[in-house]
Amino acid sequence: MPVPGDQAPDCGGCAFEAAQADCPFVPRPFEAEDVLLAIGDGSPEMHLLRVGAVLADAGADDTDFAGLRVPGLLLGGEVLDGRPVALGARALTSGWTCAAPIDTVRSVARDSAPMAWALARSVASASRAKADDLGAIGASARARVARAVLALDAAGVRASGRVLARLAGVRHETVSRVLRELRVEGLVGPGRARPVRDVVGLTAVVAAG
């Protein structure tokens, strides 16, 4: 993952590329553990994640809702209608966002059709990501841990057991138990890195619910 000081990402492939002339978002680096959004903040910035990975969470408890956010997703979209931040955002890696004050985003979107359209699409994508996360809540602990392991692996993120527990929405002890089972079955490798050995097998665990 890039670290602050690397070259900022350009607008190529950005969700707001078509509205580049009106876009109020400015590239900004972040480091692992930085808090990008705090729960309850009523006048935050919005962030479009460009590089890196972020944990979006609804509380401090291991079983509170949490989701992995990857490049291309908007953070803080729920504040567009005046609500405070419902999902906090904490960086799991170093990287870059493009950030803008929410009031500025609203003002530009009112006057720019391309910006309004790009913003609507970005909010919809973020909503789908949250819906996917919420849809997994009814699954078994085994399926939820497998899903979190696959998501972290796909994002290239080496995360702590606590972060894995947050993403799975289970206690840390449950994560340890499920990982032992997955290692015995040859689906996940040993060590804290938890290398994925069998993507098809883990995907089947997730599908079994």
Task: Give me the residue spans of the domains in the chain.
Answer: 17-135, 141-208
| CA angle 64–133–103, rounded 5-degree value | 80
pLDDT band at 64 (very low <50, low <70, confident <90, very high): low
pLDDT band at 136 (very low <50, low <70, confident <90, very high): confident
For 80-115, b/e burial (b = at least 16 CB within 10 A) is: beeeebebbbbbbbbbbbbbbebeebbebbeebebb
For range 71-83, the mean pLDDT: 82
User: What pLDDT score was predicted for residue 1?
Assistant: 41
Q: Quick check: 83 pLDDT over 90? A: no
Distance CA 171, CA 61 (A): 9
Distance CA 190, CA 208 (A): 23
Any idea which fold 141-208 has?
A: Arc Repressor Mutant, subunit A (1.10.10)
For range 81-91, the mean pLDDT: 84
Higher pLDDT, 65 or 206: 206
pLDDT band at 145 (very low <50, low <70, confident <90, very high): very high
User: What pLDDT score was predicted for residue 4?
Assistant: 43
Predicted structure pTM score:
0.82
Q: Quick check: 177 pLDDT over 90? A: yes
User: What pLDDT score was predicted for residue 84?
Assistant: 82
User: What pLDDT score was predicted for residue 3?
Assistant: 44
User: What pLDDT score was predicted for residue 96?
Assistant: 94
Alpha helices (runs of H) in the chain, residue ranges in sequence order: 102-111, 113-135, 141-155, 161-168, 172-184, 199-208
17-135 has CATH 2.60.120.10 classification = yes
pLDDT band at 5 (very low <50, low <70, confident <90, very high): very low
Distance CA 194, CA 209 (A): 21
Mean pLDDT of the chain: 84
Q: Quick check: 2 pLDDT over 50? A: no
Fold match flag (17-135 vs 141-208): no
Higher pLDDT, 155 or 135: 155
For range 177-201, the mean pLDDT: 89
Q: What is the pLDDT of residues 16-46, one digit of tens each?
A: 776 777 788 889 999 999 999 888 887 678 8
